[in-house]
Structure 1
Amino acid sequence: MHPMDFLIIAAFSLSLWASFRVKGTFTRWSQVPIHSGMTGYQAARRMLDMNGLYDVAVEAIPGTLSDHYDPIARVVRLSEPVYHHSSVSAVSVACHEVGHAIQHKVHYPMLVTRHKMFPVANFASGVAPILIIASFFFSSVPYLLGLGIILFSAAVAFQLVTLPVEFNASSRARELMLKEGFIHQEEAKGVAKVLNAAALTYVAAALISVLTLLKYIMIFNDRR
């Protein structure tokens, strides 16, 4: 056990709690009908059209909380409970994903950075663990851990850049939902709870990654 492991375990516990919370919050507010009567699909389609994104499609996909925006195909993909249902949760999640489509349209700087980082981060997240594990078996080869740390840093940086992207998408969604009458002021509380619970999962994941990176850096310095 490394001293940093205690903090990592605590962060992992936070991640588990955040995961349970987002599921519980989504379930709770999915039982609260939205006054506008719009389904997730209708809300997404209307918000896209209001922002001139007529060419962005909205598709239903299997699963729960599998919602995402695909910037390559230019498609907002909504899980079936979001796509078909009319509730605070469904409309909140749908509009959040449209927030990413709007970011794409206006070239939101952090989203552009995230897209540019993705190929490197994707490669790094696959190779870094192999190098780091190998460094403990071949401790006589010092550069393995150092190279693993460099690659892992790229993956961590990607997660950190993801945070403002997610928070900004939620902020755009809430603002437009109120402005365009998708929700009443009293429903904004539920929207905030749904979106904040989802954002917490990204925060917890980033915290785990940062602490793990610090652990490997400390081990590397101790070896030196």
Structure 2
Amino acid sequence: MNSPHTRLLEALAAGNSSTRLKAALAIGTRPEPGFLDPLVARCAVEPDFFVRDMLTWALTRLPPELTVPRLRAELRSGGGQARSQALHTLSKIGDAGAWPEITPSLLRDPDDEVARSAWRAAVVLVPDGEKAALAAELATQLGRGDREVRLSLSRALVALGEVVEPVLRTAMSHQDPVVRAHAGATERLLRDPDAGFDLAVDAAKRVNALGPDRAEAAAC
């Protein structure tokens, strides 16, 4: 007969997403180091968002001294989804020792999902003394991608706090109107976190088109 360990590993690769979800939950409920590699390997190929989230939870239940080095290795050798999930899991673990792995190449990764995960992980793991440098690096990505990508970047920048203000002011004078609008929208969100992103973008575009004085008058 198959052991419980073997049955869980088989369920983790089952065709039914509900079965995989239950397997990940069971593994996380009774975490064992022997499940580390199978969990990481499954993260790289799992198509279901909810299962991936449960896999991450199961990984956070294992000792960080085992999990973090394995995830750091995944950042260097894995494919797009593997890197994205490793970054996501590192952000959930919150081990500051992983900060050196958040490299500029990850923050600028051509895969939007990898880059977004890197931005989120970076603002969780960054030491206080590195926040200004991180803000400058993230600002190089202003104007990138679709609405969801830009919103992710804005949220990451806003999470860094006032240290981002100088780079946003610089970006608001950028020659590219898309970059200017994104920087302006992010600056508005920094001042008013409850403001809607789309409204902030629209307001930034008005400023670009009319200038600050005329845009303020038009809004009245």
* Structure with a larger share of its residues in strand: 1
TM-score computed with the length of structure 1 as normaliser = 0.22
TM-score computed with the length of structure 2 as normaliser = 0.22
